[in-house]
Structure 1
C-alpha cells in the first residue's frame, strides 16, 4: 500500500513539474520593459530584422554581425508592439508595455513560438535545381559565365563577398552570373541560396510580403570556397516582372556558420544586365 502511495505521489509531482515547466516556457503575448533595465530576447536563429511600433520602445540588435539575441528598453507611454524576423524566415510578434517592476529580464523563443513564416523554407533548393540540369541550360550558363565582366552589385560579410557579375535575360529566363570571394582565413561552405521578390524599404518600416522565386538550375555552385579563393557560378530563374516598389532579395546561408549574406537587387540592376546573345 505504501509503495502504491509513493508511486502516485511521484506521478503527481512529475505532472505538476511538467505543467510548471510548460507555463514557464510558454511564449508570452506581452513583454514588459522599462528605461533603467535591459530585457534580453533570444531567438532560434540570428535576427535579420526587427521593428517596434513606437519610438519610446527601443529594440537593439547587431545588424552588421547578426546574433541570436536583442535588447529591449522602454519609456513610459502608450502600449506598442514588436515584430522580429530571424534568418530562417520565422516571424515573431509581441505586445510591448512599460512597467517599473519587471517580471522577467530574459526570454527564450523557439520556432514553435513564431506567428508565421515570411516565406516557406526551401531546404536544399540548390541541390534540387542541380537535379533539374539540362544540357541546354548548362551550355547557356557556361557561355554567360565565361563572358561576364564587371560587377552590378556586391555585399560583404566577415571577409566573404557575394557579387552579381551580370544578369542576362534570354529565352524567358534570367541567368544570374554570381561570384563568391573568400578573403577571410577560414573556408566558406555555402548551404542554402534563396531568391525573393519583396517590397522595398519605406521609412523605418518594411513590408513582410515576399514572393519566393524558384531556382530552375544552378551551374557550378561551389560546395566550398577555400580561404583566399574566388568561385563563380550561375543561377537560372524564371521570367518575372519587377515594379519600381519591389526588389530582389538574395540570401546565402553558410553551412555550420553564421556568415550569412543578404544582397538586394533593384530594377536598375536588372535592366543594367547584358543582352542575351
Structure 2
C-alpha cells in the first residue's frame, strides 16, 4: 500500500471529467484518485472491472474485463455529494495510468453550505412572521465568490408548513408593485436543508449559496417563502449593510 501511494504521489496527473477519456486494458490497472472518499461507483457495462482500495477510500482501481469493448462510462459519487462521470475506452497501452481527479467547484460550495447549517445566530434584524410561522436570516457568510445565507424557520403552530417555493431576487425599494421588469431573480448555486416542509412545532435550517454580489442603496435582496395551499407567506428583506458584514469562512483542510 505504501508503494502504491508513493507512486500516486509522484505521478499525479489532472483529469478533466468532461473532456478526457479514461483508458483501460486487460493486463494493466488504471488508478483514479478522488479528492474525497468514494461512497458509490457504478460501471456502465460488465466490460470494465472496478475495485476500491481498502486502506485508501478515495482511490478506485479500474481494469478492462475484455478487449475491444464498446464505448462505456463509469460514474462515481463521493461522500461530499459530488457526482463524477467518465467516458471509458479500451486501449492496449493506456497513455495514463494514474488520474488525479480535481474537486468540482460545487463540491466546496456544498461542503461549506452543509457545514454552517447548525451555526449559532450571528445576525439579527432580518425577520418575518405570519400566523405562528417565523423566518429569519440567522447568518451571512462568504467564501471566494459565494455568499451563504443561513435561514432559520420556526413553525410554532400545530399545522405543518408546506413550502411551495423559495425565491431570491433583487427588489427596488421605491416600487410599490412587483413586475418581472423590476426584479432580478437570483438562482441558487446550492441549497442545503429541507425546502419541502417544516413540521408542526419544529425548527428547520436552510442554507442557500448565491453568487457573490452587493446591492445599490435603492434596492434590497428579497427572500420569499410561500406556503403551499396556505396564506402564511414570508418575505425577508436583506439590505447591503448586512451583506457587507458577511463572515469570512476559513479554507477547508
The TM-score, its normalising length taken from structure 2, stands at: 0.52
Counterpart of 2:168?
195
Q: Say whether 1:144 aligns with 2:78.
A: no
Q: Cα gap change, 1:275/1:253 in structure 2, threshold over 3 Å: closer, same or farther?
A: same
Q: Give, in whole Å, the separation in 2 of the partners of 1:185 and 1:133.
A: 41
Which string of whole-angstrom CA distances, capped at 9 and with x for unpartnered residues, describes residues 200-223 of structure 1? Answer: 137xx5675111111111101342
Residue aligned with 1:139, SS: helix
TM alignment of 1:116-155, pairs within 5 A:
134-152=106-124, 153-155=126-128
Query: Is the CA contact 1:133–1:217 (under 8 Å) kept in the aligned structure 2?
Result: no
* RMSD of aligned residue pairs (Cα, Å): 2.5
Query: Is the CA contact 1:222–1:231 (under 8 Å) kept in the aligned structure 2?
Result: no
In structure 1, the gaps of 5 or more residues are 1-130
Q: Cα gap change, 1:212/1:227 in structure 2, threshold over 3 Å: closer, same or farther?
A: same
| Structure with more of its chain in strand, by fraction | 2
**Which of 142, 150, 163 pairs up with 1:177?**
150
Counterpart of 1:257?
230
| Structure with more of its chain in helix, by fraction | 1
Aligned residue-pair number = 146
Residue aligned with 1:145, SS: coil
The TM-score, its normalising length taken from structure 1, stands at: 0.48
Query: Is the CA contact 1:154–1:161 (under 8 Å) kept in the aligned structure 2?
Result: yes
Larger relative contact order (C-alpha < 8 A, sep ≥ 6)? Answer: 2
Counterpart of 2:183?
210
